[in-house]
Amino acid sequence: GFCLPTATLDRILSNLLDNAHAYGAPPVLVETARTPAGYVLAVSDHGSGIAPRDLAAATRPFVRLDPARGGNGHSGLGLAIVERLVLRLGGACEIGNRPEGGLRVAMTFPFDVVPKGEPHPQAA
């Protein structure tokens, strides 16, 4: 497994789960894997996803992709914050639509996110 700072992991997952609840449809899946590229943490929903033409803008701050959802209390920062937190840890964030419907956000973290053998009380 791998460790991330507790506040970072909490912010990433709460933003992604909040978005999946607000814009997606159940079930919402949280997956982890170890791949040749690094550790992967992915969150997927079964909603309608994001229009392909809008995917590139999804991580820009204050971008709201569906103006009809203006009253839901969202600021358009969730995915932007997630991407910045992942990049800060040296990772990569890929946002795309699932072939069977819904959005998938896959974050890949390098193997040395937290060096082995070092105690990290703030990690989860």
Calculate what percentage of the chain has a pLDDT beyond 90.
59
Q: State residue 70's pLDDT score.
A: 41
pTM of the model: 0.82
Mean pLDDT of 70-84: 72
Residue type, 68: A
Identify which has the larger pLDDT, 96 or 68: 96
On the question of a cis peptide bond just before residue 27, with omega within 30 degrees of 0, the verdict is yes
Nearest to 54 by CA among 121, 89, 103, 99: 103
Q: State residue 2's pLDDT score.
A: 72
Model confidence at 43, pLDDT cuts 50, 70, 90, reads very high
Domain architecture of the chain: domains with CATH: 6-109 (3.30.565.10)
Q: State residue 8's pLDDT score.
A: 94
